[in-house]
Structure formats: C-alpha cells, structure tokens
C-alpha cells in the first residue's frame, strides 16, 4: 500500500463527478485518501443547499459507501488541534487539523488561498489543486489512472457518457491539464 497520503477537502467531494473519480482512484493504492466526518458534513450541507431533489438519507448512504470502500480513510481525534492552527478562514482549520492527524502529504482543494504554503509547510503538507493532483497521478501511472477513469465513466448510467462527453465533464471541473493528458488515451477510456 502507498504511503503518500492525500486529504480531500469538501470542495473536491462536491461536485459528484470529481468526487467519484477521486474515490475510484483511491481504490488503486497509488496513494491513501483521507477525509473526516467534519469534511463529510461540509460537502453534504453544500449538496443539500444546491440540490433539493436529493435527501440527507441519500447523501449519508454515499458517505457510508465512501467510508466503507476507501481503506483507512476516516481521520478522527483531530479536534484538539483546531484551536492552535492559523488559516485565513478559521472555518478551514478542521481540514488542516485532519490533514495533520491523518499524516497527509497534500490537501487536495480548489481553495488554495485558504491553505497558504507558509502555514502548511510547518506540518510538511502542501495544498494542491485537483488538476495538479490528478496530473501527478497520471504521470506516475497512466495505465492505472486510465483504467480508473474508464471504470468511472462506464459506471455512469443516468445518463451514460461517451468518452468525449466524459472528458468535457471533467474539463468543466477545472481539470484542464489532466484532461489534456487523458485525451491521447481516449480509446482506453
């Protein structure tokens, strides 16, 4: 099992296309994926605000499946670290605390300015945009990443997506570099 550890911020767990790809990749053992119950609460709250067609019960099922399938993913007992941490948005301290307790190497987040390098370097953690994170994984193991992306795409049923539609969906998630790297492998997706 890999020792490189990535903590997922709530903003990469919602929207669903990115979350589902990140979870599929977490099962590859290229890295260890981590999150906390606080992070779950945050992304679930955001989904419920935006999607009245979904219920808390449905999202709790998603949360439970995530926790069940990604090995050793749930970070616990980090709350005592929160008051000692300094970030531009105090509401993000729980993410850094979970990353510290979970021994994360990176925090995968769209909100890079909320996690300044100067603060995170104190703990040996780097903030990383999901596009950069996925591109690193692709460069490390293109066949494994393509297989995970294919599994993710094929699993989409409502509606199903062609490879071109799938890549467009990922591009809309601001994953432009990653999609550019995937395009030459489209036949394998």
The model's confidence at residue 2, banded by pLDDT at 50, 70 and 90, is confident
pLDDT tens readout for residues 133-181: 999 999 999 999 999 999 999 999 888 999 999 999 999 999 999 999 9
Task: Give the separation between CA 45 and CA 152, rounded to whole angstroms.
Answer: 24
Task: Give the separation between CA 68 and CA 178, rounded to whole angstroms.
Answer: 27
What are the phi and psi torsion angles at 8 (to 5°)?
-90, 125
Please give the pLDDT value at position 93.
98
Q: Which CATH architecture has domain 5-129?
A: 3-Layer(aba) Sandwich (3.40)
- Cis peptide bond N-terminal to 132, omega within 30: no
Contact (CB, 8 A) for 94 and 43: no
Please give the pLDDT value at position 60.
96
- The pLDDT of residue 41 is above 80: yes
Residue showing tokens 């490390």 = 140
- CATH 3.40.50.1010 positions along the chain are 5-129
Which whole-number Å values give the CA distances from 109 to 7, 8, 81, 126, in the listed order?
Answer: 9, 7, 20, 10
Which residue spans within the chain are E strands per DSSP? Answer: 5-8, 32-36, 74-75, 106-108, 126-128
Please give the pLDDT value at position 8.
98
pLDDT tens readout for residues 97-140: 999 999 999 999 999 999 999 999 999 999 999 999 999 999 99
- Tokens linked to 177: 């570099």
**Considering only CA atoms, which of 61, 57, 62, 77 is closest in space to residue 14?**
62
Task: Give the separation between CA 4 and CA 6, rounded to whole angstroms.
Answer: 7
- Tokens linked to 130: 């999901």
Please give the pLDDT value at position 187.
95
What are the phi and psi torsion angles at 137 (to 5°)?
-60, -45
pTM: 0.96
pLDDT exceeding 70 applies to what percent of the chain? 99
Which whole-number Å values give the CA distances from 167 to 52, 85, 149, 150, in the listed order?
Answer: 27, 38, 10, 11
Q: What is the mean pLDDT of the chain?
A: 96
Task: Give the separation between CA 124 and CA 121, rounded to whole angstroms.
Answer: 5
- The pLDDT of residue 1 is above 80: no
């Amino acid at each position: 099992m890999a020792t490189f550890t990535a903590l997922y911020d709530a903003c990469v767990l919602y929207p669903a296309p990115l979350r589902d790809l990140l979870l599929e990749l977490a099962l590859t053992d290229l890295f260890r994926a981590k999150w906390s119950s606080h992070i779950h609460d945050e992304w679930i709250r955001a989904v419920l605000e935006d999607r009245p067609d979904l219920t808390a019960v449905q999202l709790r099922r998603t949360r439970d499946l995530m926790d069940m399938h990604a090995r050793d993913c749930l970070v616990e007992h980090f709350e005592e670290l929160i008051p000692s941490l300094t970030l531009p948005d105090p509401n993000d301290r729980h993410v850094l605390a979970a990353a510290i307790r979970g021994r994360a190497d990176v925090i995968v987040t769209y909100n890079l300015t909320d996690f300044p390098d100067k603060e995170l370097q104190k703990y040996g953690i780097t903030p990383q945009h999901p596009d950069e994170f996925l591109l690193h994984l692709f460069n490390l193991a293109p066949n494994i990443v393509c297989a995970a992306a294919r599994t993710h795409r094929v699993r989409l049923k409502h509606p199903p997506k062609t490879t071109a539609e799938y890549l467009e969906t990922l591009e809309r998630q601001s994953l432009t570099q990653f999609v550019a790297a995937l395009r030459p492998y489209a036949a394998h997706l």
